[in-house]
Chain A
Amino acid sequence: MNGLTKIGFLLAALALAGCDNSGAFGLGGGGGLGGPGSGQFEDGSADDPTSVAHFRERVGDRVLFFVDQSTLNEEGRLTLLAQANWLLENTDYNAVIEGHADEQGTREYNLALGARRASAVKEFLVSRGIAGSRLSTVSFGKERPLEVCSAEACYAQNRRAVTVLKADVNF
């Protein structure tokens, strides 16, 4: 949960800085997300079950992966079940699933690995009834680490797929 606290803090800092990218809630937003067609949402209160803040903090917007794996673990599947249920209820939202890798790998391979991870998440959500047209995937490989130490504690947080809510998905 430590990672999530930091995320909240980081987003708050971005909002204070007047960053116009505050509508892209996932990390890796610095990677140019928020392009054409992306919506701008109010973050809302986590206590409001229809809010983005609720999705991120209570439902959980990310799943983590083992080294060089794209297989969902038990914890990840539980998170994704909750994401699927939320998306079924909140049909105004679409999502971009961002796959990421830790730094221990070559650039191209990590791009492909992140794509596998994002795709694994998408497939799971589709299998739980979310229309594939509401979901798109992208990989950042090792370009946008969340944690920057060169140790497993950081790597574990970086091997992730983050479900980023959007008004529209129109790349």
Chain B
Amino acid sequence: MMRFLAALLMGLTVLGQMAYAQSGPLRIEITDGVVEPLPYAVPDFVAENSAAGGYAKQLAQVIASDLSGTGLFREIPEKAHIAKITSFSAPVQFVDWKAINAQALITGAVSVSGGNLEVKFRVYDVFAGQELGNGLRFKGTVEGWRRMAHKVADAVYSRITGEGGYFDSRVVFVSETGPKSDRKKRLAIMDYDGANLQYLTDSSSIVLAPRFSPTGDKVLYTSYETGFPQVYILDVGSVQRRVLNSEAGTMSFAPRFAPDGKSLLLSITRDGNTDIYRMSLAGGAPKRLTASPAIDTAPSFSPDGSKIVFESDRSGTQQLYVMPAAGGEPKRISFGQGRYGTPVWSPRGDLIAFTKQNKGRFHIGVMRTDGSEERLLTASFLDEGPTWAPNGRVIMFTRETQGASGSSALYSVDVSGRNLRKVKITGGGSDPAWSPLQE
């Protein structure tokens, strides 16, 4: 089992280093950053009572969609299976799953009683002929069945890769409709995979760049509700909102929560000059953290709250800087060609994601927090605004196509630059922000 974990863990090593697993049946081989996905089977769950029948297949499908969606796993479809799982407790006949080369097997059972659903599952290392970790069970409401599936997939992903999962998470973003000259924008929230979409605002005012609180129950965003860009806080449950900085004649935007959730960073513009401020959610005047005549914006805390990365054009072009959380002398960290903006500190603390503009193209990239080992993950006419999955392994961002009929969409890519995918949403979308893993 350990070699199985080790092999996958190496496969996930950041920065695309070549990693090879040792010999053995379970391995992921990386060639120039390309992983050979691990074949697995997730047969329909066993329905333990008749009310659970409708969920048995759907749970397996969502789990498969999560795992295969990472690009690290490849599902062996049901039609290739030569055995069925009809009892959750009966011993697994590993030979049946070896025969179809399934290296991992996920079995599960579901029962429904009243409005509640209970899911049990086990993960097997088929070629080792043993269970990988212990069986687990989750309980929830039937309405929340997709979350149960995501939790199972998170546990499987986590056991096989040694990394935290990210499937039981949500994304808040700006839903877009209408022509480029009169785009209608509204805040929306959905599961990370696009399911369970809900709108949080109407489209009567421009809204921009929502950001989750560390607990995922609040969202900061910028709205033109008063005709003027100002930062608001919105409660996801009640959809109640209030303006945070309502100083007359003062624009505020680019908000982001501090890791403790009790204060935020934002940009405030006075007399045409944009600086970074910190303000407490309990009230009080915003405290100014930068004091240059340059554009200082897009601040993001390090996960330990000790540092802030932001963008500034104080050198003449947009570049990335890191300063202490209380303010103070910033240190420039970006030195490559082109312009750098919208830095976001990884939840793991190891990397900073950014938007780079160079020679008429836009890129999403990552670098170490000291600016070293810069790597570009994408290239297009317009990519911008990265946000990290809760495990720091995947980045979601906005991609806009060019021309009069250009539109925005959400994409995801993993930190090695592999597995670029369009997120399935209806209509256009921009400015995604990934929630923490749900409790």
Contacts and interface: CB of A to CB of B under 8 A. Distances in A.
Interface of A: 30-36, 38, 70, 103-109, 111-113, 115-116, 118-120, 122-123, 136-140, 143-146, 148-150, 171
A31 B251 CA distance: 14
Contact of B251 (A70, A106, A138, A145): A138
Contact of B181 (A111, A140, A146, A171): A146
Chain B interface size, under 10 / 10 to 19 / 20 to 34 / 35 or more = 35 or more
B227 A106 contact: no
14 contacts: A31-B205, A105-B341, A107-B208, A107-B431, A109-B298, A109-B318, A113-B295, A115-B272, A116-B273, A137-B249, A140-B206, A145-B180, A171-B227, A171-B248
A108 B297 contact: yes
Interface in B250-277: 251, 253-254, 267, 269, 271-274
A116 B272 contact: yes
Interface of B: 179-183, 204-206, 208-209, 224-229, 248-249, 251, 253-254, 267, 269, 271-274, 295, 297-298, 311, 313, 318, 341-342, 355, 357, 360, 381-382, 384-385, 400, 402-404, 406, 431
B205 A32 contact: yes
B240 to A, nearest CB: 20
Contacts of B183: 143
B385 A106 contact: yes
B272 A109 contact: no
Contacts of B274: 111-112, 115-116
Given A105-B357, A139-B229, A145-B180, A119 B382 contact: no
A145 B183 CA distance: 10
A10 B227 CA distance: 20
B182 A138 contact: no
Contacts of B181: 144-146, 148
A85 B342 CA distance: 41
Given A33-B227, A103-B382, A105-B357, A112 B249 contact: no
B227 A32 contact: yes
Contact of B272 (A31, A35, A120, A143): A120
A107 B400 CA distance: 12
A105 B180 CA distance: 16
A136 B270 CA distance: 11
B179 A148 contact: yes
A150 B272 contact: no
A149 B381 CA distance: 13
A32 B272 contact: no
Contacts of A32: 204-206, 224-227
B272 A137 contact: yes
A127 B384 CA distance: 38
Contact of A150 (B182, B229, B403): B403
A167 B150 CA distance: 55
B269 A149 contact: no
B357 A149 contact: no
A157 to B, nearest CB: 11
A122 to B, nearest CB: 8
Contacts of A143: 183, 206, 208
A84 B355 CA distance: 40
Contacts of A108: 209, 253-254, 267, 297-298, 311, 341-342
A35 B230 CA distance: 14
Nearest to B311: A109
